Structure 1
């Protein structure tokens, strides 16, 4: 329950709707409580008038008396109908305020969580599954809405109705009221003990739902690999096992609820029996009227559903509490990549790595060890090395996907940790090793880094990335939807669209991380020729496992096991006949073969 305290800020934000909702609940219950009183008057009046009419039997007045009684009954019916109509009207207003309030809170929560997701650093996404993230922003937020809407509404309604009914019943007969309400303490004890069980089992259900969502998400994302290795049955078994576990946890909760709800109705039944026996004897003793018995029955019926629903409401609250706990777990996580300020900053392109070391916290692997180099504005550098040498880590550190463990990275002599993070990433273009395209048109994917979509500009940079001709051969050209993660395109096409997406930003510094690994030699040659023109006045770091001779690099560093093994120009490194020379000879041999 304490987890739900964090929702108070939303209740305060929508306090006007909440306040109006409480007023409408009070008014709707006021007319509901008044109706049994009218029924009591109608019954007692009718009984007394029928007795009186029997005395007039055979007299001339008996006919007109019957007509008067009929008119009175019609008048009572009209009053009851009017009360019911007014109650229904205020019930409508009640739902329009409280339920609509819960939808606003749901909207705010989803946006808060989504925005928080975007602020978190890469280490968070390495430690958490996409399915779990999706489950929290959908299922958990939905369960919390059931608390901020229906649960709150029913609790307020039950409390107000209970006190209004109890007061009205007590005015009629205090002793009979005590008999009618006697089962309620037993009900309170049941709710107290059952709540803790429901909360524990609700948490277990939500946790398993996340695992089930993750299993489904991984299957959908990797469906091509699953089919390629003929592992459909394995994937089905894995999902089935997770589904069975989810079903077991749901059934455990259902068993508790199946005991809880009948117990509530049984206690309400005891209340009705008390009114029948005790109230009947009091009618015979003349302490109350038959109309009072009818009135009490109506009041008990009024309380039956609100009281019976408390079991369902408490289940909603416990599920919401478990879900809010999961939401708060993520909302309490703070990003390690802090934006130091919001100042505008123009990056010219001078780059310096000063004794940079980096260790991945989740694995303990040291990817870079004491790396130092510098580039003047407009210079080009190649970073070459075998797989696992630490090349991609340089790209990640440069845009502060991670922060350095030791040392510093300077841009124009300023530590990047003191530069506005938005400005840094906006003015540094990165073509990542793992290309991701969004399920959108080719034009929108190329223009992703720009505020305005310009189709002519998209065509221009697609041409520079040597992918224009292939885009035009697609069914709808630049308006073709590329599918989830660019599934409709080849690996080479995705890489070149990613290059165009980085170039269209017109960045001051460009980092290309093994961006030509999926293209053929002819296309690679065309792209490299374009690079000489595109990168002419830009600072560029080209990370690759291949050696490009078509680009005139001012400097080449060779990484080996996270350290700089060699540094120099192409000719200098060949003359030393070290690791660079070995890689070059191996590449030449592969190209000849």
Structure 2
């Protein structure tokens, strides 16, 4: 079984945000300009209180109208320039965050495509979708508002503090008294909210999975009249999400309220001490107004600090969830051979054993040789390991013990891409995309001409049915190919495999949904195709495999019988019993 684990970094704990470093480096110039614009925006805006101070002092001194008007124009000019830089700041930083979101999402999807099937067996589709939407949005908030407001807060705080000390160091001391309490409050509540946010994000993943399953299985739900039950289940999940969301909101709200209260206490102290200083003439009224304006400017950074910390905390939690996927890697490929895709393929299973879990055995000691151009029929009861056997050949899973040889070389010595390119596989569960029938058939070779599409459709006995549709092969299918019947889906999948002109053809119970007459016609059409290809056919019907060069019977993960159709009948074992049972079933159908 494919083994994958969290990627390690020489035993050191990796910071979750380290994942973003390559993206930040790529856009470092834009981020640098964004930071510069942020600094200019705040520094220029912080000159406004000084102009306001001068205007008030001039008014007290009964300065001329022209002098006051000049200060007003300067005030308006500063406001305009600050606005221009603020616009530039948002256009650079926020746009960069959107670009990184776009690149990160593409890389996330690309990574998902590279993971083994065993990963998707253990992770729900809805959870993976939630990571690429809701969690990624939280990460983007770190890169956009998070970075922008962090810079904004630091620059405003430092610059305003500088001007405040210049006006009065005594007033500044009293203004900063609540700040230690504000810091303790912020960090304490952020630690509480970290766990709450993780629980909220996990619950959102459950909701997403349930919604996805409900929409995909809507026909089953309606067929069994279970709409009310599913609505009830979803309502409970949504209510749990509401409670977890409220837990986050309550803590965040408490943090903002606490910061606002402590800030108000600071203002009360400033009004008391500063009022006395104005009365005693230690500072002018203009200086006092300017000081209070700077203090007001500090209020937003302090409240924003809590908000920004909340953004970073949510982003950290979400990125941690995403990193569990990004750090999950398949076993490294040990490629030592180049696969000749033009030559016929010999297949050999040597002492192959396999299990989906470490202590589980699905296939045991499989030994099998299949020369190039020959066909193998595989029969057995449900759950005996037939599909597992062919899945190992296409390397959807890796062997646990033993080896599979292609042309005498271990299959793992070739790249996954090379192995899968020579295989045309019709899976047990037929999946078709919401696209035209023609595009579904040429999925493996998107540039293939229409005449090849028609040719393979003819071989799979599909063309006659599709020609009856108004749009013929340009008919757009519903989700999972719902427009077509079960037999038409299977025949579309067969055409999709044949158009690749594979060297190895795998048909995994791919004729189960067609009647015996259609099956016979399809097999006749495939006979010529199979002559130059190594073919494996998994089936429950004996009629599907009886003309194969070799047939094996799998029981409890082991090959119990092996031979041609006639040899196995003469053996009088399990294959013979299958054959007799199916003959009896056919006779019963005919008598009805």
Specify the TM-score bucket, using the shorter chain as the normaliser. over 0.9
* 1:67-106 matched pairs, under 5 angstroms: 69-106=64-101
Is residue 448–residue 501 contact of structure 1 (8 Å, CA) maintained in 2?
A: yes
| Structure 2 equivalent of residue 41 of structure 1 | 54
Identify the match of residue 23 of structure 1 among 21, 33, 36.
36
Identify the match of residue 402 of structure 2 among 404, 407, 425.
407
| Structure 1 equivalent of residue 305 of structure 2 | 310
Q: Return the TM-score normalized by structure 1.
A: 0.94
Is residue 339–residue 421 contact of structure 1 (8 Å, CA) maintained in 2?
A: no
| Structure 2 equivalent of residue 63 of structure 1 | none
Give the aligned length. Answer: 574
| Structure 1 equivalent of residue 543 of structure 2 | 548
Unaligned 5+ runs, structure 1? 51-68
Identify the match of residue 579 of structure 2 among 578, 584, 587.
584
Q: Does 1:12 align with 2:8?
A: no
Check 1:269–1:345 CA distance in 2 against 1; reply closer, same or farther (3 A cut).
farther
| Structure 1 equivalent of residue 380 of structure 2 | 385
How far 1:456 moved relative to its partner?
Answer: 2.1
Check 1:539–1:342 CA distance in 2 against 1; reply closer, same or farther (3 A cut).
closer
Secondary structure at the aligned position of 2:319 is classed as helix
| Structure 2 equivalent of residue 360 of structure 1 | 356
Q: Does 1:349 align with 2:362?
A: no
| Structure 2 equivalent of residue 376 of structure 1 | 371
| Structure 2 equivalent of residue 509 of structure 1 | 504
Is residue 143–residue 323 contact of structure 1 (8 Å, CA) maintained in 2?
A: yes
Check 1:274–1:342 CA distance in 2 against 1; reply closer, same or farther (3 A cut).
farther
Is residue 532–residue 551 contact of structure 1 (8 Å, CA) maintained in 2?
A: no
Check 1:339–1:499 CA distance in 2 against 1; reply closer, same or farther (3 A cut).
farther
**Of 265-274 and 181-190, the range deviating more from structure 2:** 265-274
Is residue 366–residue 559 contact of structure 2 (8 Å, CA) maintained in 1?
A: yes
Identify the match of residue 232 of structure 1 among 227, 235, 256.
227
1:145-191 per-residue CA deviation (whole Å, 9 max, x = no partner) reads 11111011111110111110100111111111122222212111111
How far 1:120 moved relative to its partner?
Answer: 1.0
* 1:163-562 matched pairs, under 5 angstroms: 163-336=158-331, 338=333, 340=335, 343=338, 345-346=340-341, 347-361=343-357, 364-548=359-543, 552-562=547-557
Secondary structure at the aligned position of 1:149 is classed as helix
Check 1:102–1:190 CA distance in 2 against 1; reply closer, same or farther (3 A cut).
same
1:60-87 per-residue CA deviation (whole Å, 9 max, x = no partner) reads xxxxxxxxx2222222121111111111
Distance in 1, matches of 2:575 and 2:231, equals 48
Unaligned 5+ runs, structure 2? 1-13
Identify the match of residue 137 of structure 2 among 136, 139, 142.
142
* Higher Cα Rg, which structure: 1
Is residue 537–residue 545 contact of structure 2 (8 Å, CA) maintained in 1?
A: no
Q: Does 1:565 align with 2:578?
A: no
Distance in 1, matches of 2:545 and 2:304, equals 76
How far 1:550 moved relative to its partner?
Answer: 8.1
Distance in 1, matches of 2:192 and 2:87, equals 34
CA-based RMSD: 1.7
Check 1:388–1:344 CA distance in 2 against 1; reply closer, same or farther (3 A cut).
closer
